[in-house]
Amino acid sequence: MMELPLSIPTLWAALGLGALYYLAYSLLTSTTPVPAELPWLGKPPGVRLFGDIRLRLDGFRNARAYLADGYANYHQKGRSYVYRTLFGTPEIVVPRAQLKWLLDFPDDVASVSEAHRQSLNADYTFPNPILIKECFHEHVIHKNLARKLPALLPATWDETRQAFDDTWGRDTTAWKEICVYENALDVIARLSNRVFLGLPLCREKPLLDAMCAFANAVFRSTMLMNLCPGVLRPLLGPLVCLPNYIHYRKTTKWTIPFIKRRLATLASSDHPDAEKPNDFVQWYIDTARAEHRTKELDPRLLAQYLTPLNFAAIHTTTFTITNLLFDILAPSPTCPADDTLATITDEITHVYRTDCPDGIWTKQSLNRLVRTDSAIRESMRIRNFLTTGVVRKILAPLGVRNEVEGWTAPQGAFVAVDVNSVHHDPGVYARPDVFDAFRFSRVREGAGGLGGEDGGGGGGGGGGDRERGRADVLAGKNLSMVSTSDVFLPFGHGRHACPGRFFVTHELKMYIAYVVMNYEIERLPERPANTWIGPTVLPPMKATIRVRRRA
């Protein structure tokens, strides 16, 4: 056997030192695509050895303080600035007043999909580079979800009941300790895949575990890839992202045979449209056929598209419901006499008894849960997961000009808004750091007894009263959970706002409804704290609650 010139440990050490050297060299010599005249949060990158690395580390360790400083010293004065953290490219953070300027650019000038593709290193972290580049799954959701939503609700409610009966149990005597985050991850994975795949695959735990493991692997590999110099990513990407592909391959044990069976069934001449399942796989196939996109009908590609779909749907919704449960179970500082959980329970119980005679929630009945909707929206406002958002990557070869401030964002620059600081701005929200569950419902209920995001109520009287009534109705509609604005940005804003938010709002309401109607939950003396990891804010992931089935 031929002997290697170096032992294996020595070889790995040499490669590691070489990679570290190249990383330092790349960071120190690379140009940053941001306007030179904009201020940087923290110390600007200088010529000192490892100056940019120090800036990244400081921006990661002190993200909360950095962003608060940027908001106070620049945003409030109508000025943009640059924020950099350990992972990813620097971001030009523009004031809220310039959000419309950013959103009005066409996609070939300022792209959200290219921003996601680069920040996630999607060419490596997902099983196929075209998934985030072409985003056919998002096109399918945009085209189908809203109009088919009412028909999805009975199945979603059925899965909600079954998921909680399986995990929280039916024991009416003993209290059970539940890890909120881990349980929510299991339940949301089931509910989401009831819509994506239907029965029985949505209850196939090894499949769901593989989907969740894939999403976790994407998070980890994205951070590692963002630390790699660009020219080394083609070499290191397959190695760093190997766990992603292993988890994806596990999912194909179920998904590809399922898709092949569906395509074969649809090819049968005796299969009428009325018998088609109402799930994402069916929407995808129908859309691809209608648009003559034969490439998308490859079962392997459809199976691959299920990975970004699950990545987007499961974890963000799990973070939201985890935050919400801890928010409504802890004492409310807005009104000591007010029991948030009791108020939500009363509303849900009343609407369910009066509007759901067959025991199944409908779109109309869920829209009547105005206070529940308000609590979810308020939790999303105060506990947002990503501190910056509405991110766009500039694609225009000559960049885009900001006439207000007189600078140009060059091609390749990332432009964003500081969502966290907007949500915590006392000039926008009274007592912004306080969870006020009914902050939005008080306005909506005052606007003529509104019944949900579809409006209703309000008005009456003569011409002036009617105009005021219409204005009140509009104000109430704009405060529902699905409504985005320049001061409420968890779903983004504008034409690229999250298309799945209309389903998510009903999913979360049914989740809470089943919990409060069927389980006693011990109140918490105080809310467990969220954790800042760089510019990301995670909910309490190990905290538990005690529950017992109602007799």
Structure tokens, 130: 């075209």
Candidates 481, 474, 482, 483; CA nearest to 455 is 474
Query: Rg (Cα) of the chain, in Å, rounded?
Result: 25
Q: What are the DSSP calls for 495-535, one per residue?
A: GGS-TTHHHHHHHHHHHHHHHHHHEEEPPPSSPPPPEEETT
Q: What is the spatial distance between Cα 419 and Cα 381, in angstroms, rounded to a whole number?
A: 9
Binding site per annotation, positions: 498
* Phi, psi for residue 414 in degrees, rounded to 5: -105, 130
Candidates 4, 69, 179; CA nearest to 544 is 179
Q: What is the spatial distance between Cα 117 and Cα 216, in angstroms, rounded to a whole number?
A: 17
Q: Is the peptide bond before 200 cis (omega within 30 degrees of 0)?
A: yes
Binding site per annotation, positions for heme: 498
Q: What is the spatial distance between Cα 411 and Cα 302, in angstroms, rounded to a whole number?
A: 32
DSSP state of 93: E
Q: What is the spatial distance between Cα 405 and Cα 426, in angstroms, rounded to a whole number?
A: 25
Please answer whether residues 227 and 23 qualify as being in contact, where contact means their C-beta atoms are separated by less than 8 angstroms: yes
Residue 162 makes CB contacts below 8 A (sequence gap 6+) with 190, 203
One-letter-per-residue 3-state SS of 164-188: HHHHCCCCCCCCEEEEHHHHHHHHH
Q: What is the spatial distance between Cα 127 and Cα 317, in angstroms, rounded to a whole number?
A: 23
Q: What is the spatial distance between Cα 259 and Cα 300, in angstroms, rounded to a whole number?
A: 9
Please answer whether residues 453 and 422 qualify as being in contact, where contact means their C-beta atoms are separated by less than 8 angstroms: no
Residue 122: burial class (beta carbons within 10 Å; 0-12, 13-18, 19+): buried
